[in-house]
Amino acid sequence: MIKLNKVSKTYRTDKVETLALKDVDLHVQKGEFLAMMGPSGCGKSTLLNLIGLLDRPGQGSIEVEGLPVTRYKDSQVARLRNQTFGFIFQSFHLIPDLRVIDNVELPLLYRSMSAGERRRLAREALEKVGLGARMDHYPNQLSGGQQQRVAIARAIVGRPQVLLADEPTGNLDSKMGEEVMDILLRLNAEGTTVVMVTHDEREARRTNRIVRVFDGQLVA
């Protein structure tokens, strides 16, 4: 489904150059749940951002369903990204002034869709994560685990084929983390491909495959 061929990424600032990824080959299979592990700074987030077309590689190429996206214009990449991927981060990135339901609807504002249809899909997404009864709350009225579930609802509201999660349980206690993990596993069982960065070996063992990153490279 997603193929990275000899992908490298260098970050340049005024003073330093960091080679964050070197010659990475990775094939994310449709329908799998892949866990990505490795020490802090080894390149996991960089890799996830490249898979999700949030950033472009310096060298190498990426294919999404056979499409040569590295050769696409930014506008084409953005369209494909919005149609294909949902993102979840360690910090939930909810908008505090918006109710839960409005936060979840946000990604749909970029699609041509009636307000009623948006509301229906957002409600469905919130029911999927067990928060149908919290739609009119504001984010600060929810626990961390509930906020992350809202973020998952927002990530899946556009029915993405692939869910990318960067340490989604990193800010949660183990019980809330387990609930988030249960939801990701259920979405995966329903057909969504999931790629998740985690530091938790127990979580990683519940997935189909673990990819270990070290110093910008994949290690067996």
Ligand X SMILES: Nc1ncnc2c1ncn2[C@@H]1O[C@H](COP(=O)(O)OP(=O)(O)O)[C@@H](O)[C@H]1O
Q: Which residues contact 175 (CB under 8 A, 6 or more apart)?
A: 145
Closer residue to ligand X, CB minimum distance, 178 or 215: 215
Residue 43's binding partner, choosing from ligand X, Mg ion, none, with beta-carbon cut-off 5 to 8 A by kind?
A: ligand X
Is residue 20 close enough to count as binding ligand X by CB under 6 A?
Answer: yes
Segment contacting ligand X by CB under 6 A, of 35-43, 89-97, 103-111, 122-130: 35-43
Counting residues that bind Mg ion (by CB under 5 A) gives 1
Give the Cα separation of 209 and 195 in Å (integer).
10
| Only segment of 38-46, 75-83, 87-95, 121-129 that touches ligand X (CB under 6 A) | 38-46
* Residue whose structure tokens are 């229906």: 120
* Cβ proximity of 148 and 92 under 8 Å: yes
Min separation Cβ 45 and Mg ion, Å? 3
Q: Which of 45, 70, 103, 198 binds Mg ion (CB under 5 A)?
A: 45
Quote the least distance from Cβ 215 to ligand X, whole Å: 9
Query: Which span (37-45, 61-69, 153-161, 173-181) binds ligand X, by CB under 6 A?
Result: 37-45
- CA distance linking residue 206 with residue 190, whole number of Å: 16
- Listing from the earlier edge strand, what are the strands of the sheet with 2-12? 17-28, 2-12, 59-64, 67-68
Q: What is the dihedral of CA 79, 71, 8, 62, to 10 degrees?
A: 60
Phi-psi domain of 198 (left: phi exceeds 0; alpha: psi -120 through 50; beta: other) = beta
Q: Tell the smallest beta-carbon distance from residue 136 to Mg ion (Å).
A: 33
132 binds ligand X (CB under 6 A): no
DSSP assignment letter at 168: T
The site map against ligand X for 46-85 (x = CB under 6 A) is: x---------------------------------------
Long-range contacts of 120-123 (CB under 8 A, 24+ apart): 121/157, 121/158, 122/153, 122/157
Contact residue for ligand X among 6, 27, 41, 209 (CB under 6 A)? 41
Residues lying near ligand X in the complex (CB under 6 A): 11, 13, 18, 20, 38, 40-46
